[in-house]
Amino acid sequence: MKRFAVIGLGNFGFHAAKALYEDGNEVVAIDTDKARVQAIDPFCTEAVVLDSTDKEALKTLGLEDMDGVIVSTGTKISTSVLICLYLQEIGVKKILAKALDDDHGKILRRVGATEIIHPERDMAVRISRGLSRPNVLDFIPLAEEFDLIQVGPPRDFIGKSLKDLNLRAKYNVHIIAIKELVPENFILVPPANFVIKDSDILIMLGKSEDIRRIKALK
C-alpha cells in the first residue's frame, strides 16, 4: 500500500484524492477550507484542515515519508510556489504540482516540483489525439515528442513475426506488450517469434512522427 497526500481540495484535488483512495492507497487530504475537508473525509484516510503555507505545520504531517504529494491549490501562484518550496525543504521526494501555465510550471520546477500537471491541456490533448487518430485505442502522454499507444496492427503486419517486421530498425518504435483478444491474454515484452494476428492489439512506444508513419500503413 502506498501513501499520498493531496494539498488543495478544489475540483482537481478532490477527485485526485478520491481516486487514489479508491485504488487502495492511504491518502491524507489537506485544505484550509473546512467544508472541503469535510466533503473529502469519506474518501480518504485522513482529512486535515491546515494552512500548507505554514512550514512548521507541514512538518507535523510526516509528508517526507509519503510516496508522493500532489499540490493542487487555487489561482494564487505564490501559494503553490511556497508550498512546493517547503515540501522540497522538508524532504518530500516526489512533488506533483498543478500549474496554471508554462511559466508557472517553470517556477514550480525550480522550487522543487518533480512533475508538473496541466489538467485542462492534458485532457484536451488526450481527447484531440483520440479524435484525430481513430486507430489509437488509448493514448498516454509522455515527453512532448513521444507517444505510448495501443493500436490495431496494420494489414502488412498480420501473419508476420516481430523478428520479420524488425520495427525497431525500420520505424524506430518498440512493441512493449501485446493484448491478444482471441483468446484474451496479455504478453509483456513479446518474444521475437511472436506472430501478429488481426485480433491483436499492439502497445507501442516511439516518437510521434514514427508512430504516424505506422499509422499511414493502415
pLDDT tens for the chain, residues 1 to 218: 799 999 999 999 999 999 999 888 999 999 999 999 999 999 999 999 999 999 999 999 999 999 999 999 978 899 999 999 999 999 999 999 999 999 999 999 999 999 998 888 877 776 676 666 555 555 555 555 777 888 888 888 999 999 999 999 999 999 999 998 878 899 999 999 999 998 899 999 888 888 888 877 86
- Boundary of a domain, candidates 121, 140, 173: 121
C-alpha–C-alpha distance, residues 96 and 20, integer Å: 14
C-alpha–C-alpha distance, residues 82 and 76, integer Å: 11
Query: Which sign, positive or negative, has the C-alpha torsion 142, 145, 146, 149?
Result: positive
**What was the pLDDT predicted at 130?**
63
Judgement on whether residues 24 and 114 belong to the same structural domain of the protein: yes
- Boundary of a domain, candidates 103, 121, 139: 121
* Residue listed under C-alpha cell 481527447: 127
Domain containing 149 — which CATH number?
3.30.70.1450
- Whether 208 contacts 147, CB under 8 Å: yes
Judgement on whether residues 60 and 141 belong to the same structural domain of the protein: no
Judgement on whether residues 70 and 162 belong to the same structural domain of the protein: no
Q: Which pTM was predicted? A: 0.64
- Boundary of a domain, candidates 106, 121, 136: 121
**What was the pLDDT predicted at 90?**
95
Judgement on whether residues 101 and 206 belong to the same structural domain of the protein: no
- Whether 8 contacts 72, CB under 8 Å: yes
Judgement on whether residues 39 and 73 belong to the same structural domain of the protein: yes
* Residue listed under C-alpha cell 499511414: 216
Judgement on whether residues 117 and 134 belong to the same structural domain of the protein: no
Overall number of domains in the chain: 2
List, as one string, the DSSP characters of 25-74. Answer: -EEEEEES-HHHHHHHGGGSSEEEE--TT-HHHHHTTTGGGSSEEEE---
Per the structure, the complete domain to which residue 137 belongs is given by 128-215
**What was the pLDDT predicted at 133?**
57
Judgement on whether residues 40 and 105 belong to the same structural domain of the protein: yes
Judgement on whether residues 134 and 116 belong to the same structural domain of the protein: no
Judgement on whether residues 138 and 37 belong to the same structural domain of the protein: no
